[in-house]
A and B are shown apart, each in its own frame.
Chain A
């Protein structure tokens, strides 16, 4: 796969506030990349810089081996879908979709057939003459997508495209957009604050925080191999502990020495343990067993999350761990019951602060 878009050393200041700090990444042709992060992390600014709606203070952007750093948006090659959809309310679905086709000197039949093709693609052929006020949120979203795709742009930019929709519609559209993107093979960058959205849709996630890229990688990697405390905490739920190196395969947390598999280097200071990786332990075969008291049981549907006050050697600390509902019922476990847990060595992962 060829590298299609390349963002190099991009810095953006708003007055004295630094919104983007030395951003570097590449996007391959046909790839679906999600820029994920909390609000205010700079992800939307980054997207707007790529679109040319904001100009970067420093750095370059290359698209298809051309330097587009200084081009105004109307000379760049992209289609964009905004959170608000920005459908023209006084134009019909057809006129919205054909808005970008008119100046390209295509004749009317070509335009009509392109509109039909796109409407079929997003499954809205029956709504061709409607206005946006007559469509549901999900339908408007798909029209906006069709409008952005109409001139066959080389790059598709999606700015929080699903966040204004109901949960059910959102889940459905996630898959639909993902499939559409695969089918058309259009290189896509999506900005979102919703980790679930990023995990389900992206080929690759770029995780941002405070204007810098925290971590970059496939959804699986980001989830199971977080490199920073922020990554571990932002995606999913986790337990973070301050830790000290004892030997090449053991660390100390709150005075308790624990065995771990990760290769330990000298500057270890924080570890993460996912709640689903913690085991309720009744046998002596498990490693790193600690005793504790259940302080709270939180119902999550298929699982129950226990808030367990664990007796570490030097003091007590709350540890979150997932417990199967069945186990709770069978053993009639209630709050304030004592329990033993195993912080299994493979579950302990070392991250940067």
Chain B
């Protein structure tokens, strides 16, 4: 068939977005892979680096450590999150909205903040250190507690979704057949949530094994893979070994990613458009137990956050407990001062704006374009890849790729732009999936009607698709912003003295022993993210309603 103007435009935009992902992901990943086969002079030496890696027992032991904390965290987080999600979806307890909001708090702070909090709670001068009965918080115990805090909301979101798609008709059938509630749980609830739980487990596993902030802050001498990458690069300037450890780290992350994708596909099949939402029955005892449980978990989350808040306001822990803003005088410390906070705001804003545009446009072409079937599949595949790459590895790969003297894009190195590019790419996949889900709900025939009316696709895009998708677009923007504020791993290798960031400042101040200012900077990130979320809720409630009045049936 002949190509119309729409087809050429589609080809043009798909190429741009595809090219962007190639440059920001595929080429850097190739650079880091080839680096792992080179010596310091850049000569190809085959598997020699890998050989010396596996001969170094302390490095190899990190693999075991990483797997250990990841698996233990996975089991604990999934168990806690499942009960919490069950309470939110299948009980009629009071305060569901409040519990849900509290459970989301860890998403709004950098992961290492929970580590700092644990130091105040259980460290050498901690308030509750006796509770550890002689054990040290520095090490696997601290890492696991902090990782559970950090991964809890991620697991909760997935499991809540899985549990809430449980079809009410199945519950009614079970009731009519006089099935006991335990049996209903095992025959109806669990099977329909099964894939969600598995998917959540792999997400938690990947988050923990690739996280570097928490083990850095509270790991003590307990080495894990992610910290090894950091130490090889920053500590020993051994970039080749950093590349080798990165490849070792990518391996489990890739497997987890593959399993998660397969499982997600099965999950979708359960969801039919005819499913009816299940409304739980009232049961006083059950609701009370669930209320108690959620209160306990919420209290723990608030304790960790509250401890940080308190520590950031105390003048000099533990000797002078008067409250002051002394720790917020960042300009007096290392780490870039208040400038890093403003840099973070700028970086997060750029990421939110450009990331949302790229993701939504990309998803639109993948889902809605009429022509270029192959091109669209390739774009989709490229969009899924960032999820499999740990942030730390991506950051290191950027050094190798963009800092290469022969790269014409070399000028980006050390700028704000490279931080934005890296962050957008790091968080691309989840946003892409959010956009796809939203676009799939829009009738595909809109595009056909427009072309029959001789309208270019971009007219439909701006007049119809974008307005309908506004809630999802805002959701993606917020996701980019919040994550850009909190991310450490993706940017820790890439900031320059002019582009220091708040989240990195938390890390560096903690490293320099300024733990209280680190907590204070972490809290600044929390305040900012919380404020953004609150503004978002107000926007969706008030302003969006005005522009979206077509959603309301008035007759």
Interface residues of A (CB under 8 A from B): 51-53, 55, 70-76, 78-80, 82, 84, 86, 88-91, 99-100, 102-103, 130-134, 147-148, 150-151, 153, 157
Interface residue? B101 (CB, 8 A): no
A339 CB, min distance to chain B CBs, angstroms: 45
B95 CB, min distance to chain A CBs, angstroms: 33
Bound-complex Cα distance A82 to B550 (A):
21
Most-contacted residue by chain A among B548, B550, B551 (CB, 10 A): B550
Cβ A99 vs Cβ B445 within 8 A: no
B151 CB, min distance to chain A CBs, angstroms: 38
With A52-B1, A88-B463 known as contacts, the answer to whether A147 contacts B453 (CB < 8 A) is: yes
Interface residue? B555 (CB, 8 A): yes
Apart from A91-B550, A99-B455, A133-B551, 8 more pairs, CB < 8 Å: A71-B2, A76-B452, A82-B448, A90-B464, A90-B467, A134-B554, A148-B452, A148-B453
12 A-B interface contacts by CB (under 8 A): A72-B2, A72-B371, A73-B370, A80-B448, A82-B445, A86-B446, A90-B464, A99-B453, A102-B455, A133-B553, A151-B454, A157-B452
Choose from A55, A79, A134, A157 the contact partner of B453 (Cβ within 8 Å): A79
Interface residue? B329 (CB, 8 A): no
One digit per residue, 1 when the CB lies within 8 angstroms of any chain A CB and 0 when it does not, for chain B 427-463 equals 0000000000000000101101111111110010001
Bound-complex Cα distance A150 to B454 (A):
12
Bound-complex Cα distance A84 to B552 (A):
19
Bound-complex Cα distance A102 to B455 (A):
9
B94 CB, min distance to chain A CBs, angstroms: 33
A105 CB, min distance to chain B CBs, angstroms: 12
Cβ B454 vs Cβ A74 within 8 A: yes
Task: Collect the chain A residues with CB atoms within 8 Å of residue B40's CB.
Answer: none
Interface residue? B7 (CB, 8 A): yes
Task: Collect the chain B residues with CB atoms within 8 Å of residue A147's CB.
Answer: 449, 453
Cβ A74 vs Cβ B6 within 8 A: yes
Q: B residues 274-312 with Cβ under 8 Å of A?
A: none
Cβ A103 vs Cβ B445 within 8 A: no
Cβ B454 vs Cβ A100 within 8 A: yes
Choose from A51, A99, A157 the contact partner of B450 (Cβ within 8 Å): A99
Task: Collect the chain B residues with CB atoms within 8 Å of residue A153's CB.
Answer: 452
B231 CB, min distance to chain A CBs, angstroms: 53
Task: Collect the chain B residues with CB atoms within 8 Å of residue A150's CB.
Answer: 453
Bound-complex Cα distance A202 to B450 (A):
27
One digit per residue, 1 when the CB lies within 8 angstroms of any chain A CB and 0 when it does not, for chain B 369-388 equals 01100000000000000000
Cβ B3 vs Cβ A72 within 8 A: yes
B480 CB, min distance to chain A CBs, angstroms: 24
B553 and chain A: residue at smallest CB distance: A133
B interface residues, tally (CB under 8 Å): 34
Task: Collect the chain A residues with CB atoms within 8 Å of residue B322's CB.
Answer: none
With A84-B445, A86-B443, A133-B552 known as contacts, the answer to whether A74 contacts B1 (CB < 8 A) is: no
Bound-complex Cα distance A130 to B6 (A):
31
Cβ B453 vs Cβ A84 within 8 A: no
A326 CB, min distance to chain B CBs, angstroms: 44
Cβ B451 vs Cβ A131 within 8 A: no
B409 CB, min distance to chain A CBs, angstroms: 36
B453 and chain A: residue at smallest CB distance: A100
A155 CB, min distance to chain B CBs, angstroms: 10
Cβ A80 vs Cβ B1 within 8 A: no
A101 CB, min distance to chain B CBs, angstroms: 8
Cβ B452 vs Cβ A78 within 8 A: yes
Task: Collect the chain A residues with CB atoms within 8 Å of residue B168's CB.
Answer: none
B438 CB, min distance to chain A CBs, angstroms: 14
B468 and chain A: residue at smallest CB distance: A90
B549 and chain A: residue at smallest CB distance: A131
A156 CB, min distance to chain B CBs, angstroms: 10
Task: Collect the chain B residues with CB atoms within 8 Å of residue A151's CB.
Answer: 453-454
One digit per residue, 1 when the CB lies within 8 angstroms of any chain A CB and 0 when it does not, for chain B 472-483 equals 000000000000
With A84-B443, A86-B445 known as contacts, the answer to whether A70 contacts B553 (CB < 8 A) is: no
Interface residue? B497 (CB, 8 A): no
The 9 A-B pairs of least Cβ separation, nearest first, read: A100-B453, A86-B445, A72-B4, A131-B550, A74-B451, A73-B451, A55-B1, A90-B467, A82-B445
Task: Collect the chain B residues with CB atoms within 8 Å of residue A82's CB.
Answer: 445, 448-449
One digit per residue, 1 when the CB lies within 8 angstroms of any chain A CB and 0 when it does not, for chain B 1-45 equals 111111100000000000000000000000000000000000000
Bound-complex Cα distance A157 to B550 (A):
28
A66 CB, min distance to chain B CBs, angstroms: 13
Choose from B4, B454, B550 the contact partner of A90 (Cβ within 8 Å): B550
Task: Collect the chain B residues with CB atoms within 8 Å of residue A70's CB.
Answer: 1-2
Cβ A91 vs Cβ B443 within 8 A: no
One digit per residue, 1 when the CB lies within 8 angstroms of any chain A CB and 0 when it does not, for chain B 144-178 equals 00000000000000000000000000000000000
Task: Collect the chain B residues with CB atoms within 8 Å of residue A133's CB.
Answer: 550-553
Choose from A73, A75, A134 the contact partner of B553 (Cβ within 8 Å): A134
Bound-complex Cα distance A229 to B554 (A):
51
Cβ A88 vs Cβ B453 within 8 A: no
Cβ B453 vs Cβ A72 within 8 A: no
Task: Collect the chain A residues with CB atoms within 8 Å of residue B553's CB.
Answer: 133-134
Choose from A71, A80, A89, A132 the contact partner of B449 (Cβ within 8 Å): A80
